[in-house]
Amino acid sequence: MAEPILKVTDLKKVYDDKPAVDGISFEVEKGEIFGILGPNGAGKTTTLEMIETLREIDGGSVTIDGIDVASSPVKIKQIIGVQPQTPAFQDKQKLGEIIEMFAAAYGERVNVKEFLDDVQLGEKTNAFAEQLSGGQRQRLSIATALVHSPKVFFLDEPTTGLDPQARRNLWELIKMVRDRGVTVIMTTHYLDEAELLCDRVAIMDSGKIIALDTPQNLIKQLLKRGFKKEVKVEQANLDDVFIDLTGKALRD
């Protein structure tokens, strides 16, 4: 097996003597979509932020592509792309300029239109950021995180607050990014999203990883333990009804 692209060993973060992340370890393979699930306050975002160089690491170590995060944050920044929980952009700035700006932050000059086309915003190159809908802002943010062809792409709860069409569209985008060879690591608290998108998931609670496997294996293990749902699963749910009635196509 190839060397894992991300290696987290005994990672710790302490806030006011309370462990927010309590010695977690996991590895992510190249080309995976890896999900970190858990209730609010489980330590998902803190874990992600330590890996992204945004928070100091209190204990343990993280390496991405063999580079140590704590000792070489600048090198790490060159190979990661980050999607924050609520992407925001400065007003009075055109979409094309935002792409230009993020590319420039890496010292790069890119074909702006191409990156906006990738996220279906090509026609809005000259629109201002403040005119975008929530879903469009998420897509623009994805484009800004890919300008420097990162090896690993982090998303923090990307679909929170989006309507079903925008969510489905974002899933397609995330798969597209993965198909280009970028490893994707995302947090979410939507379980359907994790089941559909992620190759493997880690479930966190109170700063610890309590389960780590493929979604299918986790479900199998649960069933083996004799678990039974009380209500028989419907062949379709309300989500499917909604999409059937309003269409799958993206609306802005």
Q: Which is nearer to another protein, 25 or 78 (CB)?
A: 78
Considering the rule CB under 8 A, would residue 101 count as an interface residue with another protein? yes
Tokens at 212, concatenated: 């780590």
- In three-state secondary structure terms, 50 is helix
Considering the rule CB under 8 A, would residue 95 count as an interface residue with another protein? no
Considering the rule CB under 8 A, would residue 158 count as an interface residue with another protein? no
Min separation Cβ 231 and another protein, Å: 40
Considering the rule CB under 8 A, would residue 84 count as an interface residue with another protein? yes
| Angular region, 183: left φ>0, alpha ψ -120 to 50, beta rest | beta
Min separation Cβ 104 and another protein, Å: 3
With CB under 8 A, what is the number of residues at the site for another protein? 28
Considering the rule CB under 8 A, would residue 88 count as an interface residue with another protein? yes
Considering the rule CB under 8 A, would residue 74 count as an interface residue with another protein? yes
Tokens at 153, concatenated: 């792409």
Beta bridge partners of 63: 7, 68
Sequential DSSP letters for 109-173? ---HHHHHHHTT-GGGTTSBGGG--HHHHHHHHHHHHHTT--SEEEEESTTTT--HHHHHHHHHH
Say what the alpha-carbon torsion angle 64, 65, 69, 74 is, to the nearest 10 degrees. -120
Q: Which is nearer to another protein, 48 or 218 (CB)?
A: 48
The angle subtended at Cα 149 by Cα 148 and Cα 150, nearest 5°, is: 95
Q: Which is nearer to another protein, 73 or 181 (CB)?
A: 73
Min separation Cβ 78 and another protein, Å: 6
Which alpha helices (H) appear in the chain, and where do they start and end?
A: 44-51, 73-79, 95-105, 112-118, 134-146, 164-179, 191-197, 215-224, 238-246
Considering the rule CB under 8 A, would residue 133 count as an interface residue with another protein? no
Q: Which of 107, 224, 228, 238 binds another protein (CB under 8 A)?
A: 107
- Residue 39 CA to residue 17 CA, distance in Å, equals 21
Q: Which is nearer to another protein, 95 or 201 (CB)?
A: 95
Contact region for another protein (CB under 8 A) — 46-54, 113-121, 201-209, 240-248? Answer: 46-54
Considering the rule CB under 8 A, would residue 222 count as an interface residue with another protein? no
Considering the rule CB under 8 A, would residue 52 count as an interface residue with another protein? yes
Contact region for another protein (CB under 8 A) — 9-17, 81-89, 168-176, 237-245? Answer: 81-89
Tokens at 80, concatenated: 């990661």
Q: Which residues bind another protein (CB under 8 A)?
A: 52-54, 74, 77-78, 80, 82, 84-93, 97, 100-102, 104-107, 109, 148
